[in-house]
Structure formats: C-alpha cells, structure tokens
C-alpha cells in the first residue's frame, strides 16, 4: 500500500549513513550496473529534498500541500513508488547534499542560474518568475537600481537574489546589502510588512502568495530578466530518472494540469480583502434571509450560535453557494472534497448541505479542543483549526507554553500562530510550516462579522418586543 511521508524529517538517518537499500536506490554502491530509475523502483521510494514554504511544501488542513508536493506526488505515482519529502531548512546545504547523492531530486522553488548549473542538473522549467524589490506601503519606494544605494536591503544568503545583486554591483559599485543566514525570504517579507526592514528581494511567486497575508507589501521594481524554476538532479551520466522527469513535466504542461496547479496556488483570491462593513450590512439584508433558516437549523442541531455559523459562511463565501476558490474548496462553507466526503456532504454547492456540513465540522473541532481550554477561547481556537488545521493549532499552543504564556487563552495563542511561518520556530514543531497569520485574521474577521450580526439581531428582537407590547397596550 502506497503512502506519502507528510511529516518533515528533521535529522533523517540517511543524512549521515546510507542504508543498503537507499544506497542502491541512489546508485551509490558497488555492484551490478543498474540505472537510478531501476534502483529506486526496486526500493519503492522517491527521495526529494525540499523546504517548508508556501511555494514548495507544507502541511495544510487536509494534509501535505504545496505546488512542489503536488507535482512530485504525481511523478511518484507515475513511477509506482512512494514519495518521501525530506525537509531541510538550511538552503546552503541542500544543493551540496544533492551533489553527494543524499536524495534523487531537490525541489524547493529553485531558480536556474549559471552558477548552479556548474554543480547540479536542472529539469525543464515548470514556472517563470521575476526577482522583485519589495517595500512597505507608506514608505518611499526606490525608483531604480541606483536608488537602492544607501537603503536597508537584506536578502537570504546563498540564494539567487544575492547572485543578482552581485551582478548589479558591477554598474553600481556603491550598492550594498546584508545576507541573512537564519531567515527565509518569507520571513524577510514579513519583516518588511511589519516595518522592521526597509527593502528585500523576493521572487514574484513568493510575493504573490505572501501579499495575501501582508497586504501592506508593495513591489517597487523588477530586477533583470525573468528566471525559470526547475527541479534539480545530481550531475550524472545516468539519464534514466532525469528523462522520466522531463517526460512527466512535458505531459503536465500539455495536459493543462500544470496551469491548474499554478492557478490553485498563485491565483487571485479575495479571501483577505479588508473588511467592508457597509457591504456586509447590505448583504445581511439581501443575501442572509435566503440562508438564515439553514444556519438556524444547523445551530440548533449542533448547539452552535447560528449567528456564528453565519459569520463563518460570510467569511468563507460571502454567502454565495456557487463560490469556488482557486484551491478547489467550494460552497457557502467552502468545504474541501475530502472534508465534504468525511461529513457526508454529497453536493457542496447545495446551501443546506454545505451549511450543515460546515456546522458539523466546527462542532467536531470545538469538541476536539482539550478540556483545559474553556469558552470562548475554545471556539476561537476551533475556528483557527477550521482554517489552518487542528495540528498547527496544537503546535502553536506548545510554542505558547514555551514562551511562558497561557496555551489555553486565544489571546496568547494568536500571538504564537504567526511564528509557524518563521523557520526558527516551525523547525521545532511536529507539523512544520504554516501560514500562521491566516488563521489569526480568519478568526478576527469572523468575530467582527459575528458581533455585527448579534447587534443587528438584538435590535430586531427589541423592535419586535416593542411592537408586541404596543399591540397589547390598552387604548387611551
């Protein structure tokens, strides 16, 4: 039975000592001449070096996710082997590990550069990106490369961004920057968003994803020509695995599946638009009456305030039963296909089924919270789990305790969740990287929508009570 290794492997045994089967699979042992492809099929395992990041591989609410993971999972399926994703947080060591044949492939949103082609072999490109200078809204953006001189600019050490800046220095000798060892590009972007760093360089695909969670980020300019992303292989005369990967990526492009994956992970999304309460109140009047009875029925059935369920539905779909996100979730409560199947929802775009399924799901998550977590913190943490997955919430609670705060209080846990996107923290957790700011904003917006609904509903109840009292009052 095939299985996927979704758990990040921090210090796998083959980092230091190769087992006999792995040694054979990687073609690193003496013995009968077999190709890399034949050996890995005999071993039944495709070993891939990667990193935790939204553009590569991470654990989502439904399990392992990321565009690199999805592509590689399909490739492993085509070979009839299982996929083992090995997470390595030190980018500078990843390529040397590959050249030493510690893995079959490195897949970490790698850009093809002349310097890298001297030590590794790249597959055909699967995506085109640009390097961009990023700044924070409200600060002065650089107008051109010369305008970078004298600015606070930081990039990740050993990456293609430092290579590009080094090339630009030939024409701009006063250009200076700092190379950082212990932070990822995503973390540097977060620092720019928080006003802790003036400028950084990031690939356009990373900027596209990160801006969903940090809308203050802005692109000032693009550096040079576009670059290509590809998988990396050890330099070798054995072309067996490389040729199969080339064939697979070619088919992925021609079938349109690659375009679908790119749209899924990088497509435009309005999930993180700023709250527009005027629009929300208008939709309460025009849209909510069409679905209020479903929310009320589900609220009674699962013992959850129907107004909270309605707030979840609005955050997820704006109460649109036909809503579909780039990632394939759909319906009023934006259920994924696996979750819908688990909950017995046959038609996700049927508002009654979607609302019942989503309501049952939040009830399950509330009940799964530890008994030490009391209300209302219990509900807020369950909402965070609805968005990012219960395992990442558990990791955040552990971090909260390590920081000397209360893991049973939402106000403390919500300060820890964003740390799951910082390498210094997520590498210490069981479930690895997560876009931790997303569930915090998710819960905050639902609470806002809920508070508005409670206020409006209370005003309606008071008006009805006054009207009933007036009807009973004696004539004067």
Distance CA 9, CA 43 (A): 19
Q: HSE, CB side, 13 Å, CA atoms: give it for residue 371.
A: 0
- For the chain, the three-class secondary structure string (H helix, E strand, C coil) is CCCCECCCCCCCHHHCCCCHHHHHHCCCCCCCCCCHHHHHHHHCEEEEEECEECCCEEEECCEEECHHHHHHHHHHHHHCCEEEEEECCCHHHHHHHHHCCCCCEEEEEEECCHHHHCCEEECCCCEEEEEEEEEECCCCCCCCHHHHCCCCEEEECCCHHHHHHHHHCCCCCCCCCEEECCCCHHHHHHHHHCCCCCEEEEEHHHHHHHCCCCCCEEEEEEEEEEEEEEEEEECCCCCHHHHHHHHHHHHHHHCCHHHHHHHHHHCCCCCCCCCCHHHHHHHHHHCHHHHHHHHHHHHHHHCCCHHHHHHHHHHHHCCCCCCECCCCCECCCCECHHHHHHHCCCCCCCHHHHHHHHHHHHHHHHHHCCCCCCCCHHHHHHHHHHHHCHHHHHHHHHHHHHCCCCCCCHHHHHHHHHHHHCHHHHCCCCCCCCCCHHHHHHHHHHHHHHHHHHHHHHHHHHHHHHHHHHHHCCCC
pLDDT of residue 460: 58
Q: What is the mean pLDDT of residues 39-46?
A: 92
| Confidence band of 32 (pLDDT split at 50, 70, 90) | low
Fold classified for 128-229: D-Maltodextrin-Binding Protein; domain 2 (3.40.190)
Q: Is 404 or 16 the better-scoring residue by pLDDT? A: 404
For 107-163, write each residue's pLDDT tens digit. Answer: 998 889 888 899 999 999 999 999 999 999 999 999 999 999 999 999 988 778 988
- Please, which pLDDT band fits residue 464 given cuts at 50, 70 and 90? low
Active site residues: 316
pLDDT of residue 31: 52
Q: Report the candidate in 139, 131, 127, 130 with the shortest Cα–Cα distance to residue 201.
A: 131
What CATH number should be reported for the domain whose range is 13-122+232-266?
Answer: 3.40.190.10
> CA-CA distance, 132 to 311, in Å (whole number)?
37
For the chain, the average pLDDT equals 84
pLDDT band at 62 (very low <50, low <70, confident <90, very high): low
128-229 and 277-458: same fold?
no
**Sign of the dihedral defined by the CA atoms of residues 207, 211, 213, 217, in that order:** positive
Among the ranges given (87-91, 190-194, 419-423), the one the predictor scored with the smallest mean pLDDT: 87-91
Backbone φ and ψ of 121, nearest 5°: -115, 130
Whole-number pLDDT of residue 211: 77
Report whether 191 contacts 205 (CB < 8 A): no
Handedness of CA 44, 48, 51, 52 (dihedral sign): negative
The band of 102, judged by pLDDT with boundaries at 50, 70 and 90, is confident
pLDDT at position 16 over 70:
no
Query: Which residues are bridge partners to 203 per DSSP?
Result: 131
Q: Which residues are within 8 A (CB) of 23 and not within 5 positions of it... i.e. 6 or more apart?
A: 29
Residue owning tokens 């679908």? 260
pLDDT at residue 356, as a whole number: 96
Which are the contacts of 170, defined by CB distance < 8 A and separation ≥ 6?
Answer: none
Q: What is the pLDDT of residue 475?
A: 39
Q: How far apart are CA 443 and CA 385, in angstroms?
A: 10
Average pLDDT estimate for 2-17: 35
Q: Which fold has domain 277-458?
A: Lysozyme (1.10.530)
Residue-level pLDDT at 459: 58
Q: Is the pLDDT of residue 337 over 90?
A: no
Say what the pLDDT of residue 420 is. 93
Using the predicted structure, report yes or no on whether residue 379 has a pLDDT greater than 60: yes
- The ranges assigned to domains in the chain are 13-122+232-266, 128-229, 277-458
For 74, counting Cβ atoms within 10 Å of its Cβ (0-12 exposed, 13-18 middle, 19+ buried), the class is: middle
Per-residue confidence band for 326, with pLDDT thresholds at 50, 70 and 90: low
Cβ–Cβ under 8 Å, residues 105 and 49: yes
Q: Is the dihedral of CA 347, 349, 351, 356 positive or negative?
A: positive
Q: Is the pLDDT at 88 greater than 70, yes or no?
A: yes
Which pTM does this prediction carry?
Answer: 0.60
> In this predicted model, what pLDDT tens digit does every residue of 294-317 receive, in sequence order?
999 999 999 999 999 999 999 999
Judge if the upstream peptide bond of residue 143 is cis by omega within 30 degrees of 0. no
State residue 222's pLDDT score: 94
Q: What is the pLDDT of residues 229-269, one digit of tens each?
A: 999 999 988 999 999 999 999 999 998 888 878 876 775 43
Other C-beta atoms closer than 10 Å to the C-beta of 241 total: 24
Distance CA 337, CA 341 (A): 6
Tell me how long the chain is.
Answer: 476
Pair 150, 198: CB distance under 8 Å: no
């Amino acid at each position: 039975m095939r299985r996927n290794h979704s758990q990040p492997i921090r210090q796998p045994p083959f980092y230091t000592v190769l087992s006999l089967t792995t040694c054979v699979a990687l073609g690193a042992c003496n013995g009968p001449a077999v190709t890399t492809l034949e050996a890995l099929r005999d071993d039944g395992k495709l070993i891939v070096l990667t990193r935790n990041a939204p553009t590569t591989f991470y654990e989502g609410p439904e399990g392992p996710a990321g565009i690199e993971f999805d592509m590689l999972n399909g490739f492993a399926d085509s070979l009839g082997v299982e996929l083992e994703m090995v997470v390595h947080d030190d980018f500078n060591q990843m390529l040397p590990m590959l050249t030493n044949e510690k893995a079959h492939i490195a897949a970490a949103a790698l850009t093809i550069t002349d310097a890298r082609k001297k030590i590794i072999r790249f597959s055909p490109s699967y995506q085109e990106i640009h390097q961009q200078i990023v700044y924070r809204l409200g600060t002065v953006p650089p107008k051109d490369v010369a305008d970078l001189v004298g600015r606070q600019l930081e990039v990740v050490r050993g990456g293609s961004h430092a290579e590009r800046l080094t090339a630009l220095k030939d024409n701009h000798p006063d250009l200076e920057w700092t190379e950082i060892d212990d932070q990822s590009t995503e973390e540097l972007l977060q620092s720019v968003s928080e006003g802790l760093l003036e400028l950084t360089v990031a690939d356009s695909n990373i900027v596209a994803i990160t801006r969903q969670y940090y809308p203050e980020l802005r692109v000032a300019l693009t550096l040079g020509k576009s670059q290509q992303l590809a998988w990396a292989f050890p330099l070798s005369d054995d072309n067996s695995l490389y040729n199969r990967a080339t064939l697979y990526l070619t088919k992925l492009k021609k079938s349109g599946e690659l375009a679908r994956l790119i749209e899924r992970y990088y497509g435009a999304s309005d999930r993180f638009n700023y709250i527009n309460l005027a629009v929300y109140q208008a939709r309460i009047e025009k849209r909510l009456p069409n679905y209020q009875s479903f929310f009320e029925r589900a609220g009674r059935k699962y013992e959850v305030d129907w107004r909270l369920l309605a707030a979840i539905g609005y955050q997820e779909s704006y109460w649109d039963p036909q809503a579909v996100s780039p990632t394939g979730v759909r319906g009023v409560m934006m259920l994924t296909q696996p979750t819908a199947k688990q909950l017995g929802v046959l038609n996700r775009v049927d508002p009654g089924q979607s609302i019942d399924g989503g309501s049952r799901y939040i009830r399950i998550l509330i009940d799964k919270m530890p008994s030490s977590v009391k209300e209302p913190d219990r509900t807020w943490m369950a909402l965070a789990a609805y968005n990012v997955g219960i395992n990442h919430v558990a990791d955040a609670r552990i971090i909260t305790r390590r920081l000397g705060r209360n893991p049973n209080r939402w106000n403390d846990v919500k300060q820890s969740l964003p740390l799951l996107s910082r390498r210094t923290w997520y590498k210490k957790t069981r479930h690895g990287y997560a876009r931790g700011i997303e569930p915090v904003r998710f819960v905050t917006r639902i609470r806002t929508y809920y508070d508005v609904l409670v206020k409006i509903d209370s005003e309606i109840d008071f008006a009805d009570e006054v009207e009933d009292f007036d009807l009973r009052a004696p004539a004067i």
